[in-house]
Structure 1
Amino acid sequence: MTDEGGENWLTRILDVPVGVVAGATYPLRAIALLLTTPKLLGYIVFPILTNIVVGIALYVGLLLPGLQEVQNLTGAIDTRIAAWVANLPNWLSWLGFSGEILGGLLQILLVLGLLILTGFLLVQFGVILGSPWYGQLSEQLEKLKTGKLPTYEGGFLTVVRDIWRALAFEVKKLVLAAGLGVLLLLLNFLPGIGTAIASIGGIGITATLVCLDFLDSPLERRRLRFREKLKIVLGFFPATGTFSLVCLFLVSFPLVNLLAVPVCVTAGTLFFCDRIYPKKFAAIEGGDEIAPR
């Protein structure tokens, strides 16, 4: 039995464990490629400097105050739990220890959420501000890997359309995140399991948006619609899943994330050239121009 592209379903099933591992390795492959291809390094110097400026602003304006608020919140919760336990019978005094464990877990979750949020914002600002350099980096890398690039009509109107598409892309990401975020927020009303599902879902949404960002350069060169880009991200799961989770971890790690964005942009283009291009575009792309969409 085959799917629309003629690919055997058994082949896809067997490719799942390979994809899980392969997707996670692309940031490492990107680092190795950048270190062994000096001509590509020139495209990441300015973006790294931009990330440093944006990172300092986010650390000072968001991360440090956020960590202080997390400490204040968990401290207040610990005080309330201690006061509540003090009024209980002695045989329930063990609840104070349980409260300390819960408070510690809450603090860890809040700090992780703050780091993920800071990293996500760094990706958004870093990718937008460094887009001219990242675009050239991705083009050179795709040409190096596939031997050619798609072409499309030029001119002033094309530039205007490109700006409009870039703005629309960001708006649609926000709409997607907001829509799914509301559903996850409602899950928090379910005690215990609802909060856990909402937390996992929040990480999944963030990872998906990060994946869209880092795969966008080669996909945008083909003038794909937002739904088509999202379909590709979902269609190449689980490889895109492990790829996006590793990238999300890298961009959420303080200081490392200042260098992680160009690495992940490189990794995204490598991922496209190795896994997406051969299955989706190699057979249909020739020398014809791609019309703006």
Structure 2
Amino acid sequence: MLKGNFFQGLGYLGEGFGLIRRPGLRLFVIIPLVLNILLFGVLFYFMAELFAGLIAMAMGWLPDWAWLQSLDWLFWLLYGAVILLMLAYGFVILANLIGSPFYGYLAELTEKELTGQALDTGGGWMQILRDIPRALWREVQKILYYLPRALGLLILGFIPVVNLLAALLWFAFNCWMMALQYVDYPADNHRVSFPALRRGLGARRLSAFGFGLPVALLAMVPVVNLFVVPAAVCGATAYWVREAHIAEK
């Protein structure tokens, strides 16, 4: 039987948006936010330049008919769709790779804000620098967990009739991954292993899906998704403090 509270899980992201506005947490929200904006601004600029060249090449292959030459706007609509898909499926992975050292410390500060007790992880900027390799390795573990399962769901999507179920499974899996992704930050601060984290979230699966659902939806909204990531870290920390029930190993 599934355990947890789905509706309570839904509330954690909203609580996270409230927490990121607190003075003691703002700095570790702003730094990765600025880094993400700069990175994606550069990536989208070069993608636009590349796509403009591809459009010009494609238009050069078409017959010299006026109505065909006016179809370049359709290609730009395609570019917009590609950008949206990138934001939906690639943003969270890249944003977390960039900001993972900061998000671990943000989770630590959030836990202190919620409980009034400091977590003894060394603290400070030097600790953030020392934690970079470990934080990146945790992100790699999550990617390695995600990819084979995503590939399996992608294959199911090509099977007639089954692909209708695959779409629902894909979305449910993304909700689960969002919970796993962000609760990992406070879990890592407590030195909980990645397998232990998965078991712990599985024990409160309804709460985990409730938390992951709005995160998965808002991650697909341009601009909003820039703020979802730090809010999700804070919301996941609130989840950890209140109901994670994960054995610290």
Task: Give the TM-score of the pair, scaled to structure 2.
Answer: 0.72
- Describe the shift of the 1:165–1:137 C-alpha distance in structure 2 as closer, same or farther (beyond 3 A): closer
- Of the candidates 184, 188, 196, which is equivalent to residue 153 of structure 2? 184
- Describe the shift of the 1:137–1:56 C-alpha distance in structure 2 as closer, same or farther (beyond 3 A): same
- Describe the shift of the 1:161–1:225 C-alpha distance in structure 2 as closer, same or farther (beyond 3 A): farther
More deviation, 113-122/215-224: 113-122
1:126 paired residue number: 95
1:140 paired residue number: 109
1:50 paired residue number: 35
* One-letter amino acid of the counterpart of residue 37, structure 2: I
- Describe the shift of the 1:62–1:245 C-alpha distance in structure 2 as closer, same or farther (beyond 3 A): farther
Unaligned runs of 5+ in 1: 1-8, 70-106, 285-292
Matched, 1:39 2:27: no
Quick check: 2:19–2:231 contact (8 Å CA) kept in 1? no
Secondary structure at the counterpart of residue 151 of structure 1? coil
- Describe the shift of the 1:39–1:23 C-alpha distance in structure 2 as closer, same or farther (beyond 3 A): same
Give the deviation of 1:217 after TM superposition.
1.6
Structure with greater Cα Rg: 1
Greater RCO structure (CA 8 Å; 6+ sep): 2
1:251 paired residue number: 219
Matches within 5 A, 1:1-293: 16=4, 19-35=5-21, 37-57=22-42, 59-60=44-45, 115=84, 117-151=86-120, 162-192=131-161, 194-276=162-244, 279-280=245-246
Quick check: 1:54–1:125 contact (8 Å CA) kept in 2? no
Quick check: 1:58–1:118 contact (8 Å CA) kept in 2? no
Quick check: 1:187–1:198 contact (8 Å CA) kept in 2? yes
- Describe the shift of the 1:201–1:146 C-alpha distance in structure 2 as closer, same or farther (beyond 3 A): same
Give the deviation of 1:159 after TM superposition.
8.9
Quick check: 1:27–1:264 contact (8 Å CA) kept in 2? yes
Give the deviation of 1:256 after TM superposition.
0.9
Count of residue pairs the alignment pairs up: 221
C-alpha RMSD over aligned residues? 3.6
- Describe the shift of the 1:234–1:54 C-alpha distance in structure 2 as closer, same or farther (beyond 3 A): farther
Give the deviation of 1:209 after TM superposition.
2.5
Quick check: 2:101–2:129 contact (8 Å CA) kept in 1? no
Give the deviation of 1:264 after TM superposition.
1.2
Identity of aligned residues (%): 25
Quick check: 2:179–2:212 contact (8 Å CA) kept in 1? yes
